[in-house]
């Protein structure tokens, strides 16, 4: 028989107000507001919300004007051996920006996430989805799709590596 984690059942007396269990009180960041807005740096140049001036552009920004919460998500697709290094670099890149947002009264989250070039999702991906409130089968499915997309994109880049327009030019125009 496989080792299964046992979850204790908390019984309540008749007429007693139920207490919240750890599992029942678990909610994600996205559950904390209903007015989320999202900007994605895809196709058009992302403009960071008008909270603080910046030229930085995380890949995804979610913010709730009503609750003053902001989430920055930055995806990196490094070699698997360099995921930890990429995580620290991207975390540091946006920390000052989010500190400025906190000074303006915003609650902030910084999620640098890494998916290796061969499709391996780093722990940061699992952590981000859990923190946002995406758990269980939905989290597993989302992570599988992210991993497959990264692997497909890496394969596409590899197959086009010999295209001359992708190579640095050796001549200088006057």
Instruction: Please state whether 19 falls in left (phi above 0), alpha (psi between -120 and 50) or beta.
Output: beta
What confidence category does residue 132 fall into, taking pLDDT thresholds of 50, 70 and 90? very high
Share of the chain above pLDDT 70, in %: 82
Task: Taking residues 112-116, report their average pLDDT.
Answer: 91
17-73 pLDDT per residue, tens = 655 544 444 589 999 999 999 999 887 788 889 999 999 999 999 999 999 999 999
110 alpha-carbon distance from chain centroid:
8
Which residues contact residue 129 at a Cβ distance below 8 angstroms, ignoring those fewer than 6 apart? 135, 139, 142, 143
> 23-26 contacts: CB < 8 A, separation 24 or more?
26/135
Share of the chain above pLDDT 90, in %: 48
């Amino acid at each position: 028989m496989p080792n299964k984690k046992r979850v204790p059942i908390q019984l309540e007396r008749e007429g007693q107000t139920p207490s919240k269990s750890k599992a029942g009180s678990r909610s994600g960041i996205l559950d904390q507001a209903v007015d989320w807005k999202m900007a994605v740096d895809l196709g058009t140049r992302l403009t960071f919300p008008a909270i603080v001036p910046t030229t930085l552009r995380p890949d995804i920004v979610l913010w709730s004007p009503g609750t003053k919460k902001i989430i920055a998500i930055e995806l990196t697709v490094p070699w698997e051996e360099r995921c930890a290094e990429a995580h620290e670099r991207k975390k540091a890149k946006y920390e000052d920006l989010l500190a400025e947002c906190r000074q303006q009264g915003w609650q902030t989250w910084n999620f640098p996430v890494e998916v290796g070039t061969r499709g391996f999702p780093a722990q940061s991906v699992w952590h981000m989805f859990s923190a946002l409130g995406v758990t269980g089968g939905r989290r597993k499915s989302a992570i599988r799709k992210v991993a497959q997309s990264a692997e497909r994109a890496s394969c596409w880049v590899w197959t086009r590596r010999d295209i001359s327009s992708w190579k640095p030019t050796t001549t200088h125009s006057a």
